[in-house]
Chains A and B, each alone.
Chain A
Amino acid sequence: TQLLEQSPQFLSIQEGENLTVYCNSSSVFSSLQWYRQEPGEGPVLLVTVVTGGEVKKLKRLTFQFGDARKDSSLHITAAQPGDTGLYLCAGAMITGNQFYFGTGTSLTVIP
C-alpha cells in the first residue's frame, strides 16, 4: 500500500486543454513536493509546499497543499507537448525522517 496515492495514473490530453493531478494520503506531511521525470532520467524538482492551504504558481502550473497537509494538487493550464512526462508527488512525514514518493501520473500531451 502506497502512502501517497496519485490520480489519475495515466492522462492523455490534447494540446491547450487544462488538467489536474491529485496526490492524496491519510497521513499528515510536513511538506509536499512535485517532481517531473522524463524517460531515462531522474526526477526533477518542480516545487515544494510547506504550509497548509499554500498555493504556488510556476508559469502555467499551479500547486496547492491541502489545509490538513494530507493532500496536494497540480493544475496545468493550456497544456503543451513539452509538459509530457511522469509527475510525482513526494513528501516528508511530520514525524521521523522518512520520505515517500507517490505512485505517479503519466501525462501525454498530444499536439
Chain B
Amino acid sequence: DAGITQSPRYKITETGRQVTLMCHQTWSHSYMFWYRQDLGHGLRLIYYSAAADITDKGEVPDGYVVSRSKTENFPLTLESATRSQTSVYFCASSEGGPPYEQYFGPGTRLTVT
C-alpha cells in the first residue's frame, strides 16, 4: 500500500536544464496537486488537476509544466530551471473536489545551482 510517492527525493541540477519531478498515487484519487514550500512563503499551489487530461494553474505556475495522461501520475516539469526554483516540492492527491482533503507525498528537495 504505497499511497502517494514522489521521485526523486533529492535533486541537484544546473540553471537552464530541464528537470521532471514525478508523482504517483495508488488510490485512484481524482484530484492531484503540486506545491512548492519556501521559507517565508509557506506552501504555494503551482498546478492542480481534476482528472486525467484536465489541468489548471495555481498561484505560482510560471516556469512549470504539468501533464496528466493517467489518473495515477502527475509529473511536474521545470523546462529551464532557475535558481529561484530551488525549493521543496510536494505532490498531493484528493479523492474529490471541495473541501479538497489532501494526502501529501514525502516531497522532493530540488536545488538549482
What residues of chain A have their CB less than 8 Å away from a CB belonging to chain B? 2, 30-31, 33, 40-45, 48, 50, 88, 90, 92, 97-104
Whole-angstrom CA separation of A105 from B27 in the bound complex: 30
- Contact between B106 and A42, CB atoms less than 8 A apart: yes
What residues of chain B have their CB less than 8 Å away from a CB belonging to chain A? 33, 35, 41-45, 48, 50, 56, 58-59, 90, 92, 97-107
- Contact between B104 and A102, CB atoms less than 8 A apart: no
Q: Which residue of B lies closest to A9 (CB)?
A: B40
Whole-angstrom CA separation of A97 from B30 in the bound complex: 14
Whole-angstrom CA separation of A97 from B57 in the bound complex: 10
Does more than half of chain B's interface fall in helix, strand or loop, or is it mixed? strand
- Contact between B99 and A43, CB atoms less than 8 A apart: no
- Contact between B48 and A99, CB atoms less than 8 A apart: yes
Q: Given A44, A50, A92, A104, which contacts B104 in the complex, CB threshold below 8 Å?
A: A44
User: How far does the Cβ of A25 sit from chain B's closest Cβ, in whole Å?
Assistant: 13
- Contact between B42 and A97, CB atoms less than 8 A apart: no
Whole-angstrom CA separation of A103 from B97 in the bound complex: 23
Known contacts A42-B92, A100-B45, A104-B42; decide if A48 and B105 are in contact (CB<8 Å).
no
User: How far does the Cβ of B56 sit from chain A's closest Cβ, in whole Å?
Assistant: 7
Q: Which residues of A are found within 8 Å of B58, using beta-carbon distances?
A: 98-99
Q: Which residues of B are found within 8 Å of A48, using beta-carbon distances?
A: 99, 101
- Contact between A43 and B43, CB atoms less than 8 A apart: yes
Q: Given A2, A40, A42, A92, which contacts B99 in the complex, CB threshold below 8 Å?
A: A92
